[in-house]
């Protein structure tokens, strides 16, 4: 019978094994595997951000190919620039309306899709269509819906007798804002619906049945059972919605170009216009930095939730 040697030093080991043991080796492999993602992050996110941060400290317009260092002057100019503050205000309105609208519509649609009925699977799949479509295509579709001459909306409202002649929706500040908000809500419903639907799958049906036996109506069931159950999902959806809507550019630019006048000029459009229509790269970078700062609180909140495992 073989005798097991208790002294580990007696066993032959690889000379490489003394570099911190198995855990250190695993750590090294982990870091190596992280390297491609870290490089990609550095190339497509960190470098452009640091570059923009640097440019925000320079005066740099198309007529001067060499940037001139001016310190924080661009930020000082922002403080007195009414257009930038108007863009902040427009962004706040846009984010609030789109997030709230998507929340209500996404939850409502998820509740419908959670009910048993024939063709539910097909309808659930079709519900993902707005998510699949490129956002600029969606913007053009909505542009046609709101078009003053050929738009479906005008035709529909005139048919109902709500309006007597076609309205130029995209030419009024309120109409244009409504259009960009509806487009974004429509685009985001599938994502929100998926979150809520996943949450609803884990809801205890017996609890709902018991509540109904006790005489609870639909509103009471929603308020006292479904919403409390969905609370973690609601929080995460709101945070992600705020972040996504703060970043929104393509649908707004494709649909209204930030107009009429400046009615839908959100921060992303403002940065684009300053950089590529007014060729003031330094100032645009400074606005961009503030825009990123406005994204930090919801992003921090979201990361905190992830770290805490919620």
Q: Does 64 interact with another protein (rule: CB under 8 A)?
A: yes
Rounded-to-integer distance, Cα 281 and Cα 279, Å: 6
Nearest CB to another protein, comparing residues 179 and 189: 179
Binding mask 215-234 for another protein (x = CB under 8 A): --------------------
The answer to whether 62 contacts another protein (rule: CB under 8 A) is: yes
Q: Which is nearer to another protein, 135 or 245 (CB)?
A: 135
Among 73, 114, 172, 294, binds another protein (CB under 8 A): 172
Size of interface with another protein, in residues (CB under 8 A): 25
Gap between the Cα atoms of 310 and 307, Å rounded = 8
Number of alpha helices (DSSP H) and beta strands (DSSP E) in the chain: 15, 2
Token pair for 32:
């190596």
Distance CA 5, CA 11 (A): 8
Q: Is 68 helix (H, G, I), strand (E, B) or coil?
A: strand
Of 137, 171, 114, give the one whose Cα is nearest residue 250.
137
Does residue number 278 form part of the binding site for another protein (CB under 8 A)? yes
3-class DSSP assignment, residue 8: helix
What is the dihedral angle through the alpha carbons of 105, 111, 116, 120, rounded to the nearest 10 degrees?
A: 30
35 lines the binding site for another protein (CB under 8 A): no
Nearest distance from residue 285's CB to another protein, in Å? 13
Neighbouring CB atoms inside 10 A of 189's CB total 22
Task: Give the interface segment with another protein, choosing from 128-136, 141-149, 227-235, 292-300 (CB under 8 A).
Answer: 141-149
Q: Considering beta carbons, is residue 38 or 210 the nearer one to another protein? A: 38
Among residues 73, 88, 141, 148, the one that binds another protein under rule CB under 8 A = 148
Q: Is 79 near another protein (CB under 8 A)?
A: no
Among 112, 141, 168, 290, binds another protein (CB under 8 A): 168
Provide the minimum distance between the beta carbon of 166 and another protein in the complex, in angstroms, as a whole number.
9
Exactly one of 124, 184, 225, 273 binds another protein (CB under 8 A); that residue is 273
Q: Is 61 helix (H, G, I), strand (E, B) or coil?
A: strand
73 binds another protein, rule: CB under 8 A: no
**304, burial (CB in 10 Å: exposed 0-12, middle 13-18, buried 19+):** exposed
43 binds another protein (CB under 8 A): no
Print the binding letters for residues 240-259 with another protein: x by CB under 8 A, - otherwise.
Answer: -----------------x-x
Q: Is 158 within 8 Å of 164 (Cβ atoms)?
A: yes
Work out whether 44 is an interface residue with another protein (CB under 8 A).
Answer: no
Q: Report the residue number, 173 or 221, with the smaller CB distance to another protein.
A: 173
- Strands 58-59 and 68-69, by their bridges, are antiparallel
Per-residue DSSP letter, 260: S
**Binds another protein (CB under 8 A): choice among 260, 290, 292, 299:** 260
User: CB–CB of 99/241 below 8 Å?
Assistant: yes
Among 53, 59, 235, 294, binds another protein (CB under 8 A): 59
Residue 294 contacts another protein per CB under 8 A: no
Tokens of 258: 């930030």
In this structure, what is the dihedral angle of CA atoms 122, 125, 127, 129, given to the nearest 10 degrees? -120
The binding site for another protein (CB under 8 A) comprises 59, 61-65, 147-149, 168, 170-173, 257, 259-262, 273, 276-280
């Amino acid at each position: 019978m073989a005798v097991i040697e208790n002294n580990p030093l007696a066993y032959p080991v690889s000379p490489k094994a003394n570099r911190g043991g198995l855990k250190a080796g695993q750590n090294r492999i982990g870091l190596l595997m992280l390297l491609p993602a870290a490089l990609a992050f550095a190339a497509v996110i960190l470098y452009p951000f640091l570059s923009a941060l640097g440019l925000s400290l320079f005066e740099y317009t198309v007529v001067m190919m060499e940037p001139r260092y001016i310190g924080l002057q661009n930020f000082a100019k922002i403080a007195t620039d009414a257009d930038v503050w108007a863009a902040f205000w427009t962004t706040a309105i846009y984010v609030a309306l789109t997030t709230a609208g998507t929340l209500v519509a996404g939850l409502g649609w998820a509740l419908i899709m959670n009910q048993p009925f024939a063709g539910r699977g097909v309808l659930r799949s079709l519900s993902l269509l707005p998510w699949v479509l490129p956002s600029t295509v969606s913007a053009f579709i909505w542009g046609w819906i709101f078009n003053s001459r050929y738009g479906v909306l005008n035709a529909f409202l005139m048919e109902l007798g709500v309006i007597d002649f076609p309205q130029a929706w995209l030419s009024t500040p309120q109409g244009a804002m409504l259009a960009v908000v509806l487009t974004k809500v429509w685009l985001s419903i599938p994502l929100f619906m998926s979150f809520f639907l996943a949450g609803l799958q884990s809801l205890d049906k017996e609890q709902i049945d018991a509540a109904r036996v006790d005489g609870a109506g639909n509103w009471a069931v929603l308020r006292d059972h479904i919403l409390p159950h969905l609370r973690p999902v609601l929080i995460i959806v709101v945070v992600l919605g705020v972040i996504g809507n703060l970043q929104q550019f393509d649908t707004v630019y494709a649909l209204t170009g930030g107009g009429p006048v400046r009615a839908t000029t959100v921060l992303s459009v403002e940065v684009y216009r300053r950089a590529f229509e007014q060729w003031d790269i330094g100032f645009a970078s400074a606005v961009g930095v503030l825009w990123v700062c406005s994204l930090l609180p919801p992003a921090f909140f979201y990361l905190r939730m992830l770290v805490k495992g919620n």
